[in-house]
């Protein structure tokens, strides 16, 4: 198959080209699995989430709008599917004390970010296993922000769209996530 962009493959799928869907599944199975596994920490559950996510992609592909990027759209489906699965497993998600009711606006969220960047917080020698262990100790909402930004490479705008939150809320939650990660490192 000729090397098409993700978005060109989506257009082919809309026209009934099943090979195009297989190509997207092939391209994104690994990252979808890593994302689901990092959230759930259970291989079988992560596999189920990936499978369910691609079924949703197939069912919702007609809603994909021209001009959008496929990767963030797919990852938003993976994240939502993972959180739905975790909600069903636990009955409900626990929320961090860092969350505020209704994501209200607070003055400190508008102050310039003087906190350290994630690259500065993490030891250059830290391996993936140690990072995963630190993430497993963190509340799900903090883990989600860090994974979307660091592992998946999404922009703050894309994360805001996926989470259906304002850009400023996502940025402040990311800043708080870095602080929480730094606190975890300081206690180790």
Across the 188 residues of the chain, what is the mean pLDDT of every consecutive 10-residue run? 85 91 93 88 91 94 89 90 81 40 37 44 56 74 79 84 84 82 72
- With vertex at residue 73, the alpha carbon angle to CA 161 and CA 29, rounded to the nearest 5 degrees, is 140
Phi-psi region of 66 (alpha: psi -120 to 50; beta: other; left: phi over 0): beta
CATH hierarchy code of domain 6-90:
1.10.1740.10
The 3-state DSSP composition of the chain as helix, strand, coil percent (nearest 5) reads 70, 0, 30
- Evaluate whether 154 touches 148 at the Cβ level (below 8 Å): yes
Tell me which long-range contacts 113-116 makes (C-beta under 8 A, separation of at least 24): 113/171, 113/175, 115/175, 115/178, 115/179, 115/182, 116/178, 116/182
pTM higher than 0.75: no
What CATH number does the domain located at 101-187 have? 1.10.10.10
pLDDT of residue 180: 76
Phi–psi pair at 92, nearest 5 degrees? -165, 155
């Amino acid at each position: 198959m000729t090397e098409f962009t993700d978005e060109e493959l989506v257009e082919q799928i809309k026209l009934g080209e099943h090979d195009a869907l297989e190509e997207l599944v092939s391209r994104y199975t690994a990252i979808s699995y890593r994302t689901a596994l990092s959230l759930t920490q259970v291989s079988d559950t992560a596999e189920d989430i990936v499978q369910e996510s691609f079924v949703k992609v197939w069912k919702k592909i007609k809603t994909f709008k021209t001009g959008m990027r496929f990767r963030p759209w797919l990852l938003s489906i993976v994240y939502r599917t993972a959180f739905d699965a975790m909600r069903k497993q636990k009955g409900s998600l626990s929320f961090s004390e860092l969350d505020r009711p209704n994501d209200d606006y607070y003055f400190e969220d508008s102050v310039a970010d003087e906190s350290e960047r994630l690259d500065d917080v993490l030891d250059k020698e830290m391996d993936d296993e140690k990072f995963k262990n630190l993430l497993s100790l963190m509340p799900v909402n903090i883990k989600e922000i860090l994974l979307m930004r660091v592992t998946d490479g999404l922009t703050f705008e894309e994360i805001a769209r996926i989470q259906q939150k304002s850009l400023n809320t996502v940025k402040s939650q990311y800043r708080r996530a870095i602080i929480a990660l730094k606190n975890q490192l300081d206690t180790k």
